[in-house]
Amino acid sequence: MGRLLALTLAYLAYLLATAICSERRQHHVQHGLCSYTFILPELEHCHPLKDLQVSNTLQSDSPPEAEPDTSQAREKHNQRPSWQETKLENLESAMENNTQWLQKLENFIQENVRSGMEEIKRTAVHTQTAAMLEMGTNLLSQSAEQTRKLTDVETQVLNQTSRLEIQLLEYSLFTNQLEKHILLQTQEISRLSDKNSFLEERLLALEARYGKELHGLQSEKQQLQELLEKQSKLVSQLQGELGSSTLNSTTLQRQQAVLTDTVQQLLAMVNHCNGAVQKEKSLSFRDCSEILRAGFKESGVYSIRLANSTQIVKVFCDMRTRGGGWTLLQHRRNGSVDFQRGWRDYKTGFGEPAGEHWLGNDIIHKLTNSQEYSLHIQLKDGAGNEAFSHYDRFYIDGEDRNYSLHAEGFSGTAGRTSSLSVTGSQFSTKDRDNDRCTCKCAQLASGGWWFDACGPSNLNGMYYPASSSVVRYNGIKWYYWKGPNLQASLTAMMVRPTDF
């Protein structure tokens, strides 16, 4: 409202000034960003002067009249009617009133403007003071913060300085130690240098002393080197000769190796042919006596072909006992083979010819019926005593007659009379009872044998260890030599042609 009133007053003042006079004065007022300009009339120049009043702009409101020239105008002026003067006087009085009124108005306006300016100044001072206070507060807080940071930095700098001082002290100590060490080393070097000088002097003396000897030795060395070169040449010549000799020797060795290979191949071929001939011959042997006659004198396993048969049988040939040529039918020596078997096993045979075995009743039948055979029985008891029983004539019938026994012409050391069953005794096994006992002798005495009414012998009974003192009736038995309990360590039944 104040601003509006001021503007209105300024405008009115302007109108009045323009209406009253052309002289005016400008007043500038700055309030913050806004500036106000008041244009007020200069009252001193507005007093009613006749020249001024004539030149006043209000004069121009009435229409101008043509003035023929200056003399005419002066005449007219003097001859003007009195109403114009009256009007002018009225206007002057009115102007004076207006001027007074305007002076009052100006005074009023000036007072108002002054008070407003003072108010504005006070407000501005308050505002600026508040702003300054706020800025001061901010500056104080920032200053406190900076002070704190400065304190921290100062502390860090102090710590760093202390650390650096400690390190500097350590370095100083280390430097002192190094200096001491360097001093010692320098002293040592000096001492060694002295020693070196002394040694150099001695060396020079020695060189001078031994120079002559060295010269002599060098000449000797020269002579020896010449001798060595000569010897080396000689050795090279000898090596060349040796190389040629070695070459010749190598050629001879190769020829010898080739000849050896050829001889070995020929020998192998000869052996092969001999082996084939022997095999062919052995296959044609009927028993071990023929093999012995063919020149094979070692006891062992051979193959024979049974008479009137194509059957090849492996047998053990005893080439030592009483002239050799014996074909084994039965052999026991350690109890490794079970003799508690049935009819079929005794018929075909079991065990291996090289160990304990029974040749087989069918083979024994065919063999002992191809020609006349004698039977030889070897025995050894647990104490190592040996004895034998011999039969000049021996054979057995076929299976159709239960392999009946035929043995005659007894002799020997295993008892005064024969322990073998009487002629005609049939073969029995645990599953085939052919004896003359109401019992089953094969089950009582064990094994397969020519049991009569069980009889005085059974070489196929249980094999008991020699240390056993218990009397057993199912063991190996040859009654007329050792009673019912032989405890044999070895038994062997073997045949050979009677006319051997």
Q: Which residues bind Ca ion (CB under 5 A)?
A: 433, 435, 437
For Ca ion, the closer of residues 325 and 461 by Cβ is: 461
Find the shortest distance in angstroms from Cβ 315 to Ca ion: 32
Q: State the DSSP string of 435-483.
A: SSSSS-HHHHH-S-EE-SSS-SEETTSB---TT--S--SSB-EEHHHHT
Question: Cα separation of 500 and 498, whole Å?
Answer: 6
- Residues in Cβ contact with 365 at an 8 Å cutoff, skipping those fewer than 6 apart: 395, 396, 397, 398, 399, 403
For Ca ion, the closer of residues 46 and 405 by Cβ is: 405
Which has the closest alpha carbon to 439: 467, 406, 473, 416? 473
What are the angstrom distances between the C-alpha of 415 and each of 105, 193, 386, 411?
192, 117, 12, 9
Which has the closest alpha carbon to 282: 271, 295, 270, 269? 295
For Ca ion, the closer of residues 392 and 433 by Cβ is: 433
| φ and ψ of 354, to 5 deg | -75, -20
- Residues in Cβ contact with 51 at an 8 Å cutoff, skipping those fewer than 6 apart: none
For Ca ion, the closer of residues 99 and 428 by Cβ is: 428
Which has the closest alpha carbon to 353: 326, 330, 376? 330
For Ca ion, the closer of residues 353 and 455 by Cβ is: 455
Find the shortest distance in angstroms from Cβ 479 to Ca ion: 19
Find the shortest distance in angstroms from Cβ 440 to Ca ion: 5
For Ca ion, the closer of residues 389 and 426 by Cβ is: 426
Find the shortest distance in angstroms from Cβ 428 to Ca ion: 7
Find the shortest distance in angstroms from Cβ 350 to Ca ion: 23
DSSP letter at 432 equals: B
Find the shortest distance in angstroms from Cβ 435 to Ca ion: 4
What are the tokens at 71? 């003399």
Find the shortest distance in angstroms from Cβ 438 to Ca ion: 6
For Ca ion, the closer of residues 381 and 435 by Cβ is: 435
Which has the closest alpha carbon to 493: 396, 347, 389? 389
